[in-house]
């Protein structure tokens, strides 16, 4: 029997002012994207902003549905928007934030597994790492360089045997 370990590194920032100007801009845009969240069921708003290679920023927010599984997370709303509208774009980085009236969010909200899998797909497609910022409005910011650090055992297409 062997026990193996992953060594995953990520950065934390105590305040948004500690980030680069670009990262600050992206976090602020993710916060602005909260306004379009359609989340009457969970009352949990998620906003994301994605920076493309040409400087364009694409926003996304969670879109819920009365038939609960029909809704979609903010990250996938934005990523699929890019896939459909800017298929040749390179994704540089993305920022994600969350807000709810029900409690104070004290730590960065990290993305669900399905969103990580979709991020991994886009990263693989462009063969360039995507930086991800998890922005806690009333707390710290976590920055991860590349999706592999978030999903080390990612499902990769070569397992399909093609």
Residues of this chain that interact with ligand THU (CB under 6 A) are 39, 42, 44, 46, 62, 64, 71, 73-75, 111-112, 115
Min dist CB 100 to ligand THU, Å, is: 9
Min dist CB 69 to ligand THU, Å, is: 11
**Whether the Cβ atoms of residue 96 and residue 47 lie closer than 8 Å to each other:** yes
**Whether the Cβ atoms of residue 125 and residue 79 lie closer than 8 Å to each other:** no
Can you read off the two tokens belonging to residue 59? 């926003």
Min dist CB 96 to ligand THU, Å, is: 7
Can you read off the two tokens belonging to residue 29? 């845009």
* Residue with Cβ nearer ligand THU (18 or 107): 107
Can you read off the two tokens belonging to residue 45? 């708003």
**Whether the Cβ atoms of residue 16 and residue 27 lie closer than 8 Å to each other:** yes
Active site residues: 75
* Residue with Cβ nearer ligand THU (24 or 111): 111
């Amino acid at each position: 029997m062997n026990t193996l370990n992953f060594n995953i590194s990520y950065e934390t920032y105590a305040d948004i002012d500690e980030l680069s100007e670009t990262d600050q801009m992206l976090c602020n845009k993710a916060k602005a994207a909260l306004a379009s969240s359609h989340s009457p069921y969970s009352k949990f708003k998620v906003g994301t902003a994605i920076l493309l290679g040409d400087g364009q920023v694409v926003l996304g927010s969670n879109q819920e549905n009365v038939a609960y599984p029909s809704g979609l997370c903010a990250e996938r709303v934005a990523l699929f928007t890019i896939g459909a509208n800017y298929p040749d774009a390179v994704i540089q980085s993305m920022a994600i934030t969350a807000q709810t009236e029900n409690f104070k969010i004290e730590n960065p909200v990290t993305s669900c597994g399905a969103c990580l899998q979709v991020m991994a797909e886009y990263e693989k497609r462009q063969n360039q790492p995507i930086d991800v910022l998890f922005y806690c409005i009333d707390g710290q910011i976590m920055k991860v360089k590349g999706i592999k650090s978030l999903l080390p055992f990612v499902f990769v297409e070569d397992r399909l045997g093609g």
